[in-house]
Structure 1
Amino acid sequence: MNSHVSVPGQTGAIIAGTPLADAVVRLENVKRHFGETPALDGVSLTVRKGEILGIIGRSGAGKSTLIRCLNGLERPESGAIFVEGRQITGLSERELQPFRRRIGMIFQHFNLLSAKTVEENVALPLKIEGRPRAERLQRARELLDLVGLSDKAGAYPSSLSGGQKQRVGIARALAARPALLLSDEATSALDPETTRSILALLKDINRKLGLTILLITHEMEVVRSIGDRVAVIDAGKIVEEGPVWSVFADPQTDITKSLLAGIRPQLPAHIADALSAEPGGEAVLGVDLAGAAAQGTLLAELPRPFRLLHGGVDHVQDQAVARLYLAVPAVPAGAVQTFIQFLEARSARVEVLGYVTGHA
């Protein structure tokens, strides 16, 4: 399978065949240290026009520094950052201002001004730009209609729910017609139902406006819901990237597998605890499948005997993605390898997790 880029210990790469003209933002070998600690350690990444790209990683992985370098609040020590084809590294604070306006930001804690109405909050970026009042208000009303809050124009943030506040934040981020919408953990403070509604809104905006969105998150479910492509960051490096369905179907690195653990089937604990590295009894196999192989008649075709221990089929980006756990007798000699070869011939990725005796 391995249809996505996996580059442990190296930088990410521009996707093969992606014209540079389609890049809204491009990072080339960007490095940023704090003391001896590398926050970004040679990051190369391209955000393509019209896509939703998720950047996912644990706390401390480098996500916040990446954001701050993108909007010019941090300066990389080396490497280059391009916004719509223009390199912004090395620009003065004054020269950076027009490029910052090309990047809209939505935040985890909304960052609304409590003393201003919803309409005034949305219009604020245009006021800072010096736009006429009539133009500001017309744009604010258009955007409040887009996010479903036309009736809240005169309300103050204190009267809004968390989801409504985030909708205002999204409208404000769109006010100056940015080329890129940067979402910094925008759903982390919301309950699951509200999170789903906000993600659906972002996807709708992406479709209606053709807006490029960069999601910074530690939640794989966020990327799974609306992402086109995902890049995994760990210790300041992009360690894995590719289409969301491909990374979910066949994660290559331990960090990606760990981040996926909450939403992919896992081997039941009582079986995992019984695993031994010594061959004998049954071999326990982890099997990853995608596409037609994940929704066909594979189980009916498998050589007997075997046991289905656990597993499931999901759909990501309209692609079937399966993770199965099978137990296969370890004798006669060669039986496990024959079973694995059968699976691999059908585009499965297979790993031997260990061995169990009895019927664990």
Structure 2
Amino acid sequence: MNSHSFVDPRQTTPLLADEVVRLTDVHRRFRETVALDGISLSVRKGEIIGIIGRSGAGKSTLIRCLNGLERPDSGEIAIEGTRIDRLTESQLQPLRRRIGMIFQHFNLLSAKTVEANVALPLKIEGLAKAERLARAREMLDLVGLSDKAAAYPAQLSGGQKQRVGIARALAARPALLLSDEATSALDPETTRSILSLLKEINHKLGLTIILITHEMDVVRSIADRVAVIDAGRIVETGPVQSIFANPEAPITRRLLEGSRPRLPEHLVDRLRSDASRLVLGVDVSGDYAQRQLFTDLVDAFRQGANLVQGGVEHIQDRPMARIFLTLPAQDASLVEQVKFRLAAANARVEVLNHV
């Protein structure tokens, strides 16, 4: 079925050629509580975008607006060019088949087999039994659970249940997959396997994925881009590597605290008591982080700079360095020399003022 065949042409809105989702100045409030406060965002075909924020930031309301379970008070939401904020419930039904959902708690039917759970959306759609079972088996093969078709959810591990949830979400061949805290209930090893599966599916199917999460490690693992939401507003957005290397919004920095190198407490205490040293935090990404960074600092080390903490890690396939330096506080020329050289390499340099 053509995804636009059920919609009056006046209810469509032109998107850029590769856009799947566009939100324009979306507002939603519940009595005195503002849930969404002017959200604007576009998502391209084949992109994985992470929408991250603390509890109560507006993530749940946003995802419910994207799948049509909530209506915005104002603004526009377009999926594949269709204004879903204007549709009736009956008009929304076929469009929802273009949107797959995976959930934190799996939402599988315990009395149905794995195969029947995956085939259920197709049964609701009215497909013939042979066709929907064939598609269910195809999806179970894609998620690595061909041998579990006849099992029941109670016989599966948490990771296996989430794989069934992913297979079910993909059964109707959606254009968009929404992941609502889908790994929050899983252990770290299982989380890594699920995220790897989502990245593989993204590559194989060219599927657009929106990850709603409060975990930066989820975003850094597979997302191409991240949008940070706080108090119903998007406060920062950009490529994942750029946001990790140079977070600007205070909430982004707080969200990143647990996933970036930081000074251990014993060093913080020691440096605070040493008024003669100035502390710099340095973030830099790309080849410079691996090759040139420390060469450029050799002269500074000779003049009394010390490296006290840090190193190089990789965000997906891009190297990033976060280091902490101390410099003689009285040597203003050395401080400026180091700051200038690092800034010339697009490093983010923060004077921590003795921590």
Using structure 1 for the length normalisation, give the TM-score. Answer: 0.90
| C-alpha distance 209-301 of structure 1, shift in aligned 2 (>3 A) | same
Given the alignment, which residue of 203, 214, 230 partners 1:218? 214
Given the alignment, which residue of 142, 147, 150 partners 2:146? 150
Matching of residue 346 in structure 1 with residue 345 in structure 2: yes
In structure 1, the residue matched to 2:24 is: 28
What amino acid sits opposite 1:315 in the alignment? H
In structure 2, the residue matched to 1:91 is: 87
Supply the distance in 2 between the matched residues of 1:323 and 1:124 (Cα, whole angstroms). 48
Count of residues in Structure 1 that have an aligned counterpart in Structure 2: 337
In structure 2, the residue matched to 1:296 is: 291
Supply the distance in 2 between the matched residues of 1:252 and 1:154 (Cα, whole angstroms). 50
What amino acid sits opposite 1:289 in the alignment? V
Q: Secondary structure at the match of 2:93?
A: helix
What amino acid sits opposite 2:146 in the alignment? S
Residues 50-72 of structure 1: CA distance to partner in whole angstroms, max 9, x if unpaired? 01111111111110000100011
What amino acid sits opposite 1:339 in the alignment? V
In structure 2, the residue matched to 1:282 is: 277
Given the alignment, which residue of 169, 190, 196 partners 1:194? 190
Listed as ranges, the gaps of 5+ residues in structure 2 are: 1-14
Matching of residue 314 in structure 1 with residue 313 in structure 2: yes
Deviation at 1:341, TM superposition (A): 1.4
Supply the distance in 2 between the matched residues of 1:45 and 1:279 (Cα, whole angstroms). 46
Given the alignment, which residue of 133, 147, 162 partners 2:158? 162
Q: Is the 8 A contact 1:293 1:347 kept in 2?
A: no
1:30-69 mapped onto 2 (5 Å cutoff): 30-69=26-65
In structure 2, the residue matched to 1:11 is: none
In structure 2, the residue matched to 1:108 is: 104
Q: Secondary structure at the match of 1:173?
A: helix
In structure 1, the residue matched to 2:11 is: none
Deviation at 1:312, TM superposition (A): 1.7
Q: Which runs of 4+ in 1 moved over 4 A?
A: 273-276
Supply the distance in 2 between the matched residues of 1:135 and 1:148 (Cα, whole angstroms). 20
Supply the distance in 1 between the matched residues of 2:282 and 2:189 (Cα, whole angstroms). 32
Q: Is the 8 A contact 1:229 1:241 kept in 2?
A: yes
Structure with the higher fraction of residues in helix conformation: 2
In structure 2, the residue matched to 1:323 is: 322
Deviation at 1:255, TM superposition (A): 1.0
Matching of residue 70 in structure 1 with residue 75 in structure 2: no
Q: Secondary structure at the match of 2:244?
A: helix
Q: Secondary structure at the match of 1:109?
A: coil
| C-alpha distance 60-298 of structure 1, shift in aligned 2 (>3 A) | same
Deviation at 1:274, TM superposition (A): 5.5
| C-alpha distance 163-333 of structure 1, shift in aligned 2 (>3 A) | closer
Supply the distance in 2 between the matched residues of 1:279 and 1:157 (Cα, whole angstroms). 59
Q: Is the 8 A contact 1:26 1:44 kept in 2?
A: yes
Q: Is the 8 A contact 2:115 2:149 kept in 1?
A: yes
Q: Secondary structure at the match of 2:353?
A: strand
Deviation at 1:275, TM superposition (A): 5.9
Higher relative contact order (Cα pairs below 8 Å, separated by 6+ residues): 1
Deviates more, 1:89-98 or 1:120-129: 89-98
